[in-house]
Amino acid sequence: MIQSFHLNKTAKIIDARGGDSRLVDHLLEAGFINITVLDISGKALENAQKRLGAKAMLVTWIICDITEFIPDTNYDMWHDRAAFHFLTTAEQTEKYVQTMRKHVLGYVVISTFFESEPPKCSGLDVKRYN
């Protein structure tokens, strides 16, 4: 899907709550050079950095709760496969959406739990969507 956006290799991309996801590996392999991975878990980011080895130095790593994140730059693409559904109040969701509106110049890719999915993930409540 990301390739279908035809982004320049210098496009600023953020993987919100990317943790130990392998998306960063694929983005680096595809030649992207302005990648940020954000997660509340320093351990998850550390695991990704170890996996990437020297390539980890090419990535900006941010340890932060997504509901408290205030970007210091704008992004051409914002990817979120694992954060939005953990925002269970209208206030959290609105704050997140406003942050994206203010700091995304291009594409937003968000995955959520479908309404028939379990109401919890990793022991935490999730908001489900149809």
pLDDT for the residue numbered 82: 75
pLDDT for the residue numbered 75: 98
Residue type, 107: Y
Contact between 93 and 65 under an 8 Å Cβ cutoff? The reply is no
pLDDT for the residue numbered 33: 97
**Quick one: which of 17, 39, 37, 19 has its CA closest to 27?**
37
Q: What are phi and psi of 68, to 5 degrees?
A: -110, 0
Tell me how many domains the chain contains. Answer: 1
What angle is formed at CA 104 by the lines to CA 71 and CA 95, rounded to 5 degrees?
60
Residue 88 forms part of a structural domain: yes
pLDDT for the residue numbered 79: 96
Residue 1 forms part of a structural domain: no
Enumerate residue ranges in the chain where pLDDT < 70: none
Residue 2 forms part of a structural domain: no
pLDDT for the residue numbered 8: 97
